[in-house]
Structure 1
Amino acid sequence: MTRALLIIDVQNDFTEGGALGVFGGADVARNVTRWLNLASRRYGTVVASRDWHHATDDNGGHFAPDGVDPDFVSTWPVHCVADTQGAEYHPAFDTSPVSIHVRKGQGVPAYSAFQGETDDGRTLVRALTEAGVTEIDAVGIATDHCVRASVLDAIDAGMHVTVLTDLIAGVAAEPSAAALDEMAVHGAILAKSSEVPTE
C-alpha cells in the first residue's frame, strides 16, 4: 500500500494575520515542514491543497456581498483570491516535497481538497489512484471546515485516513472537537505524529 500526506490549505489567509486567520496556523506550517523532514520516507506522495478563488465574482455565493456581513457558515469575507499573497502557502511551509498541488473553489464554494483539481486538470481521486495511494495522513487548516470535509471525502473514496491531530488547527474549539468526533465515527484514525512511524 502507498501512503500520501494530504496537507490542507496551509495558506497565508488561514494563518495569523490573514483574512480568515486561525490561531495556531503558523505553528501548523512550521510543524508540517518539520514532520516532512522527519518522515519523508513514510510517504510515496505528498499533496497540498489551496483555496484559489476568483477575484471578479462572489465564487458562487461563497463571498458575502459588499455591505453584507458574512455568516461564517456559508458566506465568508474575501479570502485566498488567486494570485494574491493571501492565497500563497505560508512561508514556513516548505513545499519542495509536494508532488501534487490542488486548487479548489475556483468560482464555486469548495471546502474539500477532493472538490479541486491538480495543476494538470485531474481530480484528486484520479491523481491518488494513479499514484497507487490507499492510505492518507491528513494535516492542515481548518479542522472544523476544510480538514473535516477533505477527510470525509477521502473516506468516501475508499482511503484509509489518519488525522495527525498535532498538525491541524481549527477555527473554534467546540466545532473542531465535534469535527474530530465525526471523522472518527466515519472511520478516521486520530493520532499524534509522535504516535505513528516515520517510515
Structure 2
Amino acid sequence: MSRLLIIVDAQNDFCEGGALGVDGGAAVAGRIAAFVREHGAQYDRIFASQDWHRGDTDNGGHFAVPPAEPDFTDTWPVHCVAGTEGAALHAEVAALAEELGERLEIVHKGHGIPSYSVLEGTVVATDEGVEHLIAAGGWDRIDVVGLAYDFCVRATALGATEAGAPVRVLSDLTAAVHPADIPALEEELRGAGVEVTAS
C-alpha cells in the first residue's frame, strides 16, 4: 500500500496578482511547501499539477472570448497558458520542486480542453495518465491540496474517490474562488466519502 500527495495548480495565475488570483492563494502555496518539507517523507509519490492551456484557442470554451465576459463557473479569463509566467508554479512551490528534484512529479492538464481534475492530466516525465495510476489501486491514502478548493481540488478529490481510492482534502492547504460556498462544498465532499480535515 502506498500514499500519494497531489498538489493542485499552485500556479502564479491562481495567486494574488495573477489572471485568476484566489484570495489567500500565495499563503496556501507557502503552507503547502512547509507541509511537504515536514511531512513529504510520508508519501511514496508527490504530484504537482499545472493547468497548461493553449494560447491559440479558447481551450474548448474554457476561456471567455471577448466581448463575452467570464462567468467564473464555466468560463474564465485567459490563464495558465503553457510556458508563460502565469502558468509557472508559485515561487514557494517552485523552490520546493528544486529541492525535491525528480521526487516531485509535474502533471500537465487542460491543453486545449477544459480540465479541472488532475486525473485528466499526464505525468510529464513518464507520460503516465494520472487516471490510470489512481484506478490501478493499491493506494492506502491520497491527500489533495492546492487551488482552487471549489473547482480543481474538488474535482480531483471526487474523481479519485470515484476511482475507489481513500481520499483526504487538507482544507487549510486550499483556498476557494467562492469562499462563501465552502460549507456546501465540504458537505458535498463528505457525502461522496472524502475526508475533510486539517493538515
1:107 and 2:131 aligned:
no
Contact 2:149 2:174 in 1 (8 A): yes
1:135 and 2:141 aligned:
yes
SS in structure 1 at match of 2:91: coil
Contact 2:139 2:166 in 1 (8 A): no
Moved more, 48-57 or 128-137: 128-137
Supply the distance in 2 between the matched residues of 1:129 and 1:183 (Cα, whole angstroms): 19
Shift of 1:43: 0.6
Shift of 1:84: 0.1
With normalisation by structure 2, the TM-score equals 0.91
Q: Partner residue of 2:64? A: 64
SS in structure 2 at match of 1:126: helix
Match runs of 1:36-75 below 5 Å: 36-75=36-75
Q: Partner residue of 1:20? A: 20
2:148 partner amino acid: A
1:116 partner amino acid: G
Contact 1:136 1:161 in 2 (8 A): yes
With normalisation by structure 1, the TM-score equals 0.91
Contact 1:14 1:22 in 2 (8 A): yes
Contact 2:134 2:163 in 1 (8 A): no
Q: Partner residue of 2:196? A: 190
Contact 1:12 1:86 in 2 (8 A): yes
2:118 partner amino acid: A
1:70 partner amino acid: P
Shift of 1:118: 1.5
Supply the distance in 2 between the matched residues of 1:88 and 1:111 (Cα, whole angstroms): 17
Moved more, 101-110 or 123-132: 123-132
1:121 partner amino acid: D
Aligned with 1:146 (options 139, 143, 152): 152
Supply the distance in 2 between the matched residues of 1:99 and 1:17 (Cα, whole angstroms): 26
2:171 partner amino acid: T
Over the aligned positions, Cα root-mean-square deviation in angstroms equals 1.6
Match runs of 1:136-175 below 5 Å: 136-175=142-181
SS in structure 2 at match of 1:39: helix
Runs of 4+ in 1 over 6 A off after TM superposition: none
**Could you report, residue by residue, the CA deviation over 1:162-195 in whole angstroms, capped at 9, with x for unpaired residues?**
11111111112222322221111111111111xx
Moved more, 87-96 or 10-19: 87-96
Gaps of 5+ in 2: none
Aligned length: 193
